[in-house]
Amino acid sequence: MSYRPLYVFNTLSGEKELFTPIVEGRVGMYVCGPTVYSDVHLGNCRTFVSFDMIYRYLLHLGYKVRYVRNITDVGHLVGDTDTGAEDKIGRIARLERIEPMEVVQKYSNGFHEVMALLNALNPSIEPSATGHIIEQIEMVQKIIDNGFAYETNGSVYFDTLKYAEQTGQYGKLSGRVIDELINESRDNLKNQGEKRHPSDFALWIKADESHLMRWPSKWSVGFPGWHLECSAMSTKYLGTTFDIHGGGQDLKFPHHENEIAQNHGACLSNPVKYWLHGNMLLMNGKKMSKSDGNSILPMELISGNNDIFKEAFSPMTLRFFMMQSHYRSTLDITYDALKAAEKGFSKIKDAYNLIPRLKKAPGSQPVKINQTILSEIEGMYEDMGNDFNTPKALARIFELVSIVNIYHNNPQQEEGLNEESIRLLSSAFDTFVSDVMGIRLKDDILTDGENYTEGLMDIILELRAKARENKDWPTSDLIRDKLSEMNIQVKDGKDGVTWSTGK
Ligand code: AMP
Ligand code: ZN
């Protein structure tokens, strides 16, 4: 089977490369998931939505994809430091006087709800760090056996200098040099006394009595270092070398750099063929970050219950907003940008709803127009195949929106649209907007993720038609006005009643 060409920007080489999977027809993809100690903010969601789009496109191309996205529920320490600080989840458990696993469950549930709202597909496997302690301990042992790690006072550290000397690789992904790392580490990290070199990082950390989450090991009762889980779980589910590893840009160093070092330390091979990194969501020009107080939760934006934008934006408007920028560019969320996205998305939905109502032209006249539609579809494959260029593909969708509107507004044009054109138009929207970009076109009003809206609208409009038949104008007007309050506009036209969302 042949696949359409796909070029991806590989952070490791700094270049766009032709994607060729290790095993023909199959793709293994690992994406770093959330640390479940608080609600995911919209910035975190951007990264997961970007990789959802990538997953969807790979599936669309016909690959059989094993998509692993983990849940970090132990080992990620406050301030993203290495040792000496409290576990992020343990800290919340202590403050709220609940079990760490209650913290994990609560925020994992919340994360899943938000992902469903944003129409992200479930990964094939969602492993958690606490569920893979044995695999992590085994990996530490392998790294020690291969001479890339050492124990001090019950903790185990990765020997970065030895690894750098033997492989020349440490810092390759993030573009840092070891001397720079040594200085940086000396400034930032605690417990440096236990390490041979300041840039060494912890694989296993001895826990003190106050530490809530700890497990026995031959070195100490302790817990794994933050980076270890991803190495252990990606190896377990995707093998020692797999196709794609993803995550946000901010994870390049130290998290991903250390993942590579660990995998190499344990398996003596490079773990990942293509490293893909998504760029950051900014809010009013600054990186969205909870610790900096510059963040908004998806539910706050969807409900309108927030002091920042003070207005509700639907989940699919948010998804459209994200897809309008390339996943490797920064994206700044502002009120004006959200309003523009709402307007743009409305245009797409309106055009999509009009397609089945377009007047069909008799005969086989519109060869030219079919070719235009076909070339836009081909163009969208080129855009998506060029490192997932969703903004360019959306620009082509707007070209198709113009075609729909021209033929809708001038139905008596000689060169009308024939059935084939109408089918091509619908399939272009269904394929690229709905299936690949994950922007639901049919249902974006109810926020429960169910596809009820179309059916409900049919019933409501039927009741309204009955009221009009009976000359019950107050009821008919009441239905129209109430729908309008919900941002649903009903139009009585020559060809019947139509409805659309947006103002
Ligand atoms: P964390 O829960 O901190 O481990 O982060 C989960 C994911 O969200 C990681 O892939 C981060 O890179 C990503 N992330 C954090 N902040 C942002 C942001 N402002 N924009 C985009 N992605 C982000
Ligand atoms: Zn990770």
Q: Is the distance from the beta carbon of residue 251 to the nearest atom of ligand 1 less than 6 Å?
A: yes
CA dist 341 and 163 (Å) reads 48
Atom of ligand 1 nearest to the CA of 280: 20
Predicted local confidence at residue 447, as pLDDT: 45
Q: Quick one: which ligand is closest to 39's CA?
A: 1
HSE-CB at 359 with a 13 A cutoff on CA atoms is 16
**Residue with CA closest to ligand 1 atom 14:** 44
Atom of ligand 1 nearest to the CA of 287: 19
Predicted local confidence at residue 366, as pLDDT: 57
CA dist 338 and 328 (Å) reads 19
Predicted local confidence at residue 187, as pLDDT: 43
Q: Is the distance from the beta carbon of residue 250 to the nearest atom of ligand 1 less than 6 Å?
A: yes
HSE-CB at 4 with a 13 A cutoff on CA atoms is 17
Q: What is the mean pLDDT of residues 41-64?
A: 98
The per-residue pLDDT for range 473-491, each reduced to its tens digit, is 888 888 888 888 787 888 8
Q: Please, what's the b/e burial string for 376-394 (b: 16 or more CB within 10 A of its CB; e: otherwise)?
A: bbeebbebbbbbbbbeebb
Which residue pairs, CB below 8 angstroms and at least 24 apart, start in 464-471?
464/490, 464/497, 465/497
Q: What is the mean pLDDT of residues 44-71?
A: 98
- With the C-alpha atoms ordered 177, 178, 179, 181, is the resulting torsion angle positive or negative? positive
The per-residue pLDDT for range 436-475, each reduced to its tens digit, is 999 999 866 544 344 456 667 877 888 888 888 888 888 8
Q: Is 255 within 8 Å of 6 (Cβ atoms)?
A: no
Which residue pairs, CB below 8 angstroms and at least 24 apart, start in 131-135?
132/229, 132/232, 132/233, 132/236, 133/215, 133/224, 135/232, 135/233, 135/235, 135/236
CA dist 336 and 19 (Å) reads 37
Predicted local confidence at residue 443, as pLDDT: 67
127 Cα to the center of ligand 2, angstroms: 11
**Three-state secondary structure of 236-271:** HHHCCCEEEEEEEHHHHHHHHHHHHHHHHHHHCCCC
Q: Is the pLDDT of residue 386 over 80?
A: yes
Q: Is the pLDDT of residue 44 over 60?
A: yes
CA dist 281 and 288 (Å) reads 6
Where does residue 62 rank: exposed (0-12), middle (13-18), buried (19+ CB within 10 A)?
A: exposed
Q: How far is CA 317 from CA 35, 326, 438, 444, 502, in A?
A: 26, 16, 11, 8, 11
Scan for tokens 């009741």, then name that residue: 463
Structure tokens at 430: 């269904």
DSSP string, 360-393: BPSTT--HHHHHHHHHHHHHHHHHHHBT--HHHH
Q: Is the distance from the beta carbon of residue 46 to the nearest atom of ligand 1 less than 6 Å?
A: yes
Q: How big is the chain by its Cα radius of gyration, in Å?
A: 26
CA dist 31 and 45 (Å) reads 13
Where does residue 59 rank: exposed (0-12), middle (13-18), buried (19+ CB within 10 A)?
A: middle
DSSP string, 395-447: HHHHHHHHHHHHHHH-TT-SS-B-HHHHHHHHHHIIIIIIIIT---SS--S-S
CA dist 192 and 199 (Å) reads 9
368 Cα to the center of ligand 1, angstroms: 46
Triad 30, 34, 37: Cα angle to 5°: 155
The per-residue pLDDT for range 356-378, each reduced to its tens digit, is 888 776 665 556 778 899 999 99
Q: What is the mean pLDDT of residues 231-251?
A: 98
Q: What is the mean pLDDT of residues 174-180?
A: 76
H or E, element range at 296: none
The per-residue pLDDT for range 291-348, each reduced to its tens digit, is 888 999 999 999 999 999 989 999 999 999 999 999 999 999 999 999 999 999 999 9
- Residue 419 banded pLDDT, cuts 50, 70, 90: confident
> What pairs with residue 18 in β-bridges?
7
> What pairs with residue 30 in β-bridges?
68, 245
Mutational test site, ligand 1, from 47, 226, 333, max ligand atoms within 8 Å of CB: 47
Predicted local confidence at residue 79, as pLDDT: 77
